[in-house]
Amino acid sequence: VSATSRPDGATKLAGAATYGEDVELPGMLWGALVMSPVPHGRLRSVDLAPARALPGVIAISAPDVPSLVDGRQGDPDRPPFPPDHVTYLHQPIAAVAAPSRPLARAAARSVRVTVDPLPVASDLDALFPEWPESKIDDPSRVAAHVLARRGDVERAFREGETIVAETYRTASVHQVALEPHACVADVREGVWRVRTSTQSPFGAREDTASILGLPEASIVVEGTWVGGGFGGKGAAFLEPYALLLSRAAGRPVRLALTYAEEFRLGRTTLPSVIRLETAVSKGEITGRRVRLLLDVGTSLPGRDFATGYSIGFLLGPYRTPAFEVEGYAVRTNKPPFGPHRAPFAPQAVFAVESHLESVARAAQLDPAAFKARHLWREGDRTPFGQRVLPFGLPSALESARATATRWRKDAPAGRGVGIGLGFWSTSTGAGGEARVTLTPTALVVVQGEREIGSGSVVVGLAQVVARRSGLPMEAIRIEHRDTAGAPFDAGVFGSRTVGALGRAIDEAVVQILHRLGDRVTPPGPVTLEFRDGHVMVVHGALRRPLAELLSPTEAAEGGLSAEGKHYGQGGEIDESLVRDGAFYPYTDFTGAAHVAEVEVDRETGSIRVRRYAAFHDAGVVLDLPSARAQIEGGVAMGLGAALTEEAIWSDDGRLENAGLVDYRIPTLGEIPPIEVHFIEGYPGAGPFGAKGLGEPPIIPVPATIAAAVRDACGAHVTELPLSPDRVAQDLKLR
């Protein structure tokens, strides 16, 4: 076993890992969705008769739902099938199940849907040509509005020596997990069971219960291996449809998206328009105005946190004495906005970092020094009045500046070097619980999550146990149960797995060690060791097999058990600053400074990234290979968002590039060498001072590339991605 091999490596390399796509049950039918033919319209009729006439085909639509859920009423704001009104192209309006995949597809196509089309809202600029000069007052368009102010902003702008105002635009980007959404439902004897590729079995259960009006206790969600999540598999999606079909058919039903459907229906980052204005006097930022238009598509009630959370990142991790921030979450005829690895942060950071670069240049200041001077330090207050916890970003920036200086010296002529900073707060506030049993031969953790790829479950949780107990990895088993058998956990999202669920597990391990400490003579602290397949309790110079310390009851139960819980608390913001909507405190402070060297073809505008370095404050790193791997992967994903990735929504609400040829993610040859460095000494809220690392690596990448491109050729592109046509166009105008 090498230092880099993973506990799940052998299973996955043998082709023996069962993902949501791979689940097969006896007698299983194949499901398919019937989708809206228009992006917006009044549904006149859905005629299922042609589908039902096919052999063995089950078909359901809105009128069938009440009887399938025994007359219960789900959340009226998000019915599984819209009763009379469709709001995005390909919105599910009926579902079918058939004995084979081709027949299911044919049955879905045979359903006759009649819709009266309505006008389509899609492009933000077309919808609000006068914004930000005029307010948006159409309540049917505004899903959420947030507004906060601090200090005398007007005065800062009236008296500012340098004023810079810019508008940035960012594209819709997709998660592109290689495994499409897939699940198999099996409803029988009052139990609604679904096996699914999900980042949150308990979240999927809660959503499904709310959508269908069922009690949570009647639903059992069993997670499978997850073929990539990146935020896209966090909430219930296909599960309610598959469950309804299974209930109707009386047999298991598989429902999976095709890859084109994955693009068309996926809940992901949608376009934004960002207006930024900054006033500077005597080299100091004195005032900021931030205005955000964020497309949230067919907004889902209760999920509009996006605006209030995202807009905070547009102030950046910088001291700002006076500010006004205002954001609109705008409804359009697109699928619902959903989380995509560090939701909206790479986009916000691209805008704010590029803007501060412009501000520093306008004030004739060195951009990196200007940013460094304004960066929060531990103990400072954020613009919203929250105290900054240990924060390694200033130190990361110092290291990045040293690297940038070195690279500038030895880079061939025509190349550019840029720095980008990214700040993030991980979701360690979301709660988790776990059950730990120490047996004479292993330490067994029972919990509710499945591995999504990052290693946070199979490596991260095990490393927490190893550090606390002293046991080696081979003596630690991380086991999962379905939602009926596992203690609650919020999900594998928000870079929280190790930081929150890991804390719950750690607490349980500590309880066990304390109890053992009371049983040795004299009582005192103990650690564990693993010898010849047996757990040994180490007390000073003494070692005893665990088996000798167990009571007869414990021995009969298999070992010593404890339950751990962690429900974290965020900081507090100064609510008196908030005029409308909700803003959110940060639970911890993590960040990274990245450096890129690029070469730009001035004719075509195409960009080659030649080398890349990432400096991360990840608190205390628990597993170096996994941490490095997260950064390498996150940087690659960020390069996609910076350079090529753009889900192109037409003015009439169609996704024009629903496939991997036209929506281009990075390929193997396009990734430069990536240096990875960890900035230590700034512990976080996780076990042993760990900070989450799933999301942070993607955040600074578009900003970093934009800065390097500007350094290389002067192009200041204000729209993501930095596609060749945008770069070439900007150079032509310059």
Partner 1 sequence: VKPPTVRLSINGQSRELAAVPPDERLLDTIRWRVGLKGTKEGCRTGECGACTVLREGKGALSCLVLTHDADGATITTIEGVGSDPVGAQVRTAFETAGALQCGYCTPGFVMALTGLLRERGRGAPIEELLEDLGGNLCRCTGYSTIVRAARSAREALP
The residue (of 625 and 683) whose beta carbon lies closer to partner 1 is: 625
**Minimum CB distance to partner 1, residue 660 (Å):** 4
Among 11-19, 297-305, 527-535, 590-598, which window interacts with partner 1 (CB under 8 A)? 11-19
Q: Does 24 engage in binding with partner 1 (CB under 8 A)? A: yes
The residue (of 20 and 39) whose beta carbon lies closer to partner 1 is: 20
Q: Does 6 engage in binding with partner 1 (CB under 8 A)? A: yes
State the burial class of residue 374 (Cβ atoms within 10 Å of its Cβ: 0-12, 13-18, 19+). Answer: middle
Instruction: State how far the Cα of 598 lies from the Cα of 418, in Å rounded to an integer.
Output: 8
**Minimum CB distance to partner 1, residue 597 (Å):** 17
The residue (of 449 and 506) whose beta carbon lies closer to partner 1 is: 449
**Minimum CB distance to partner 1, residue 610 (Å):** 15
Q: Does 225 engage in binding with partner 1 (CB under 8 A)? A: yes
**Minimum CB distance to partner 1, residue 675 (Å):** 11
The residue (of 174 and 288) whose beta carbon lies closer to partner 1 is: 174
Q: Does 635 engage in binding with partner 1 (CB under 8 A)? A: yes
Say if CB 585 and CB 647 are below 8 A apart: no
Instruction: State how far the Cα of 361 lies from the Cα of 72, in Å rounded to an integer.
Output: 62
Q: Find the binder of partner 1 among 113, 115, 171, 177 (CB under 8 A).
A: 177
- Where in 656-675 is the site for partner 1 (CB under 8 A)? 659-661, 665-669, 671, 674
Q: Does 14 engage in binding with partner 1 (CB under 8 A)? A: yes
State the burial class of residue 527 (Cβ atoms within 10 Å of its Cβ: 0-12, 13-18, 19+). Answer: middle
Instruction: State how far the Cα of 217 lies from the Cα of 72, in Å rounded to an integer.
Output: 15
Q: Say how many CA atoms lie within 13 Å of 44 toward its Cβ.
A: 9
The residue (of 668 and 733) whose beta carbon lies closer to partner 1 is: 668
Among 323-331, 480-488, 571-579, 626-634, which window interacts with partner 1 (CB under 8 A)? 626-634
Q: Find the binder of partner 1 among 37, 259, 441, 654 (CB under 8 A).
A: 259
**Quick one: tokens of 212?**
């269908």
The residue (of 423 and 663) whose beta carbon lies closer to partner 1 is: 663
β-pairing verdict for 284-297 and 323-331: parallel
Distances (CA, A) of 320 to 146, 278, 324, 384, 505: 18, 10, 10, 10, 39
Instruction: State how far the Cα of 165 lies from the Cα of 318, in Å rounded to an integer.
Output: 18
Q: Indicate the DSSP class of residue 655.
A: B
Instruction: State how far the Cα of 391 lies from the Cα of 379, in Å rounded to an integer.
Output: 9
**Quick one: tokens of 289?**
């105005």
State the burial class of residue 225 (Cβ atoms within 10 Å of its Cβ: 0-12, 13-18, 19+). Answer: buried
Q: Indicate the DSSP class of residue 719.
A: B
Q: Find the binder of partner 1 among 32, 300, 430, 452 (CB under 8 A).
A: 452
- Where in 116-175 is the site for partner 1 (CB under 8 A)? 175
Q: Does 475 engage in binding with partner 1 (CB under 8 A)? A: no
The residue (of 44 and 608) whose beta carbon lies closer to partner 1 is: 608
The residue (of 372 and 665) whose beta carbon lies closer to partner 1 is: 665
Task: State residue 7 phi and psi, 5-degree precision.
Answer: -60, -25
- Where in 409-428 is the site for partner 1 (CB under 8 A)? none
| Cα torsion through 636, 641, 642, 647, rounded to 10 | 150
The residue (of 20 and 308) whose beta carbon lies closer to partner 1 is: 20
- Where in 91-120 is the site for partner 1 (CB under 8 A)? 101-102
Site string for partner 1, 578-617 (x = CB under 8 A): ----------------------------------------
Query: Which residue's entry shows tokens 């512990």?
Result: 683
Among 112-120, 153-161, 206-214, 448-456, which window interacts with partner 1 (CB under 8 A)? 448-456
The residue (of 545 and 672) whose beta carbon lies closer to partner 1 is: 672
Contact partners, residue 67, CB within 8 Å, separation at least 6:
none
**Minimum CB distance to partner 1, residue 656 (Å):** 16
The residue (of 256 and 727) whose beta carbon lies closer to partner 1 is: 256
Among 20-28, 188-196, 435-443, 563-571, which window interacts with partner 1 (CB under 8 A)? 20-28
Among 9-17, 34-42, 347-355, 532-540, which window interacts with partner 1 (CB under 8 A)? 9-17
| Cα torsion through 586, 589, 593, 594, rounded to 10 | -60
Positive or negative, the Cα torsion across 595, 597, 603, 605?
A: negative
Cα R_g (the chain), whole angstroms: 27
Q: Indicate the DSSP class of residue 487.
A: P
**Minimum CB distance to partner 1, residue 525 (Å):** 34
**Minimum CB distance to partner 1, residue 335 (Å):** 19
Task: State residue 90 phi and psi, 5-degree precision.
Answer: 70, 15
Query: Which residue's entry shows tokens 């803007």?
Result: 355
Say if CB 68 and CB 229 are below 8 A apart: no
**Minimum CB distance to partner 1, residue 184 (Å):** 12
The residue (of 20 and 80) whose beta carbon lies closer to partner 1 is: 20
Q: Does 358 engage in binding with partner 1 (CB under 8 A)? A: no
Three-state secondary-structure class, residue 62: helix
Among 164-172, 452-460, 462-470, 714-722, which window interacts with partner 1 (CB under 8 A)? 452-460
Among 78-86, 221-229, 387-395, 489-497, which window interacts with partner 1 (CB under 8 A)? 221-229
Q: Does 636 engage in binding with partner 1 (CB under 8 A)? A: yes
Q: Find the binder of partner 1 among 69, 164, 176, 622 (CB under 8 A).
A: 176
Of the candidates 114, 141, 116, 117, the one whose C-alpha atom is nearest the C-alpha of residue 127 is 141
Of the candidates 333, 339, 263, 341, the one whose C-alpha atom is nearest the C-alpha of residue 295 is 333
Please report how the helices 624-643 and 701-713 are oriented relative to each other, as an axis angle in degrees rounded to 10: 60
The residue (of 24 and 130) whose beta carbon lies closer to partner 1 is: 24
Q: Find the binder of partner 1 among 65, 171, 226, 306 (CB under 8 A).
A: 226
Instruction: State how far the Cα of 616 lies from the Cα of 594, in Å rounded to an integer.
Output: 8
- Where in 318-347 is the site for partner 1 (CB under 8 A)? none
Applying CB under 8 A, the site for partner 1 has a residue count of 58
Q: Find the binder of partner 1 among 9, 83, 301, 681 (CB under 8 A).
A: 9
The vertex-399 CA angle with 396 and 402, nearest 5°, equals 150
Beta-bridge partner residues of 177? none
Q: Find the binder of partner 1 among 77, 83, 138, 178 (CB under 8 A).
A: 178
The residue (of 455 and 591) whose beta carbon lies closer to partner 1 is: 455
Three-state secondary-structure class, residue 477: strand
Distances (CA, A) of 71 to 48, 63, 64, 355, 732: 21, 11, 10, 55, 64
- Where in 455-474 is the site for partner 1 (CB under 8 A)? 455
**Minimum CB distance to partner 1, residue 451 (Å):** 8
**Residue 707's CB: how many other CB atoms inside 10 A?**
29
Q: Exposed e or buried b for every residue in 395-419, given b needs 16+ CB within 10 A?
A: bbbebbbebbeebeeebeeebbbbb
Interacting residue ranges for partner 1, rule: CB under 8 A: 2, 4-6, 8-10, 12-19, 21-22, 24, 101-102, 175-180, 225-230, 258-259, 451-455, 625-626, 629, 632-637, 659-661, 665-669, 671, 674
